[in-house]
Amino acid sequence: MNTELNNLVSIILVNYNGADVLIDCLNSLEKFIPRDNCEIILVDNNSQDNSVCIINHKFPNIKLIKLPENVGFGAGNNIGAKVAQGKFLFLLNTDTILTSNLLPHLIELMSTNLDVGVIGTKLVFPDGSFQISFSPKIGIKGEIEAKKIHENAEDKNKLNIIEQNFKDIKEVDIVVGAAFFIRTDLFNLLGGFDEKFFMYFEESDLCQRVRNSGYKILYTPYVSLIHIRGHSVNKISNKMAVEYRRSQIYYYYKHLPMWEILMLKIYLILKFLYEYFTTFNPYSLKILKLVFMYK
């Protein structure tokens, strides 16, 4: 049988201490995804739990890549992509659960729209409620718009309106990396994820470079999956807050004009000075040092 047909899609997962969600994710892949037209690659970022044992004993058909250290989300996906044989890559978080076979729709949508480089699926919470999985272009204006969208998402009625506005396939600026479908040749052409983003903003950066290359990014609501958002960072939220701001500043320096960089820095200085003197959170001081030192 043709190798390209066998491995039409390479599903790549990057895992770090995700044992408590990994079984449900991989079981859903086994249940809904036929193995005659895809391969599953799992890159483990030196997990210290029993993730690797779970994969070895319960899922021996998965191609497992064990790394000696945690290289981050983007770098982990890049390593998986280097051994992928598929025509398309489906980058999937380990805290997701499939409820159907999404691949036929994604393949058809990509194959019939040659100007589309990336597709993001609809995401829902475990209770079935709609989850925001798209974003405006990063920048001062875009971040204000994104903040408003997420604030509206806290109101059930406003969330329903957002969901109705996205009930059809729509071109967007950014889709989140939890379920990220991309052409393999495009991913390789762009050099994959920028590994300077350890976590956060890596998919925003890749989406920006995809658009810069002349390709569109689509959001489709016609297939969906469950996403247990925030699982991987819940226990280290303060450290991840620092990492979020580091990635945000790096993104601004990479893609945006100096006036937007200065506006971001002024905002962060005011925000975290206030936070430091009101809560005495040492991580606020770390972010302030980051703002002043980053050039």
| CATH number of residue 201's parent domain | 3.90.550.10
Where a domain ends, among 214, 231, 248? 231
Q: Which of 78-82, 175-179, 211-215, 275-279 has the least mean pLDDT?
A: 275-279
pLDDT of residue 208: 98
Q: Looking at the 3D structure of the chain, how many domains does it have?
A: 2
Average pLDDT over residues 258-273: 92
Q: Do 219 and 282 belong together in one domain?
A: no
**Upper half-sphere CA count for residue 256 (Cβ side, 13 Å):** 23
Q: Do 38 and 94 belong together in one domain?
A: yes
Identify the helix (H) or strand (E) that includes residue 97.
strand 96-98
Strands 63-66, 38-44: pairing kind: parallel
**Quick check: 224 pLDDT over 80?**
yes
Where a domain ends, among 196, 231, 266? 231
For 286, the domain range is 234-293
Residue type, 224: S
Q: Do 246 and 220 belong together in one domain?
A: no
Where a domain ends, among 183, 207, 231? 231
Q: Do 172 and 247 belong together in one domain?
A: no
Q: Do 102 and 178 belong together in one domain?
A: yes
Contact 123, 219 (CB under 8 A): no
What is the pLDDT of the chain when averaged over all its residues? 92
* pTM of the predicted model as reported, rounded to 2 decimal places: 0.92
Contact 151, 93 (CB under 8 A): no
CA-to-CA distance for 95 and 230, rounded, in angstroms? 9
Q: Which of 1-5, 212-216, 245-249, 288-292 has the least mean pLDDT?
A: 1-5
Contact 22, 54 (CB under 8 A): yes
Q: Do 238 and 217 belong together in one domain?
A: no
Residue 13 three-state SS: strand
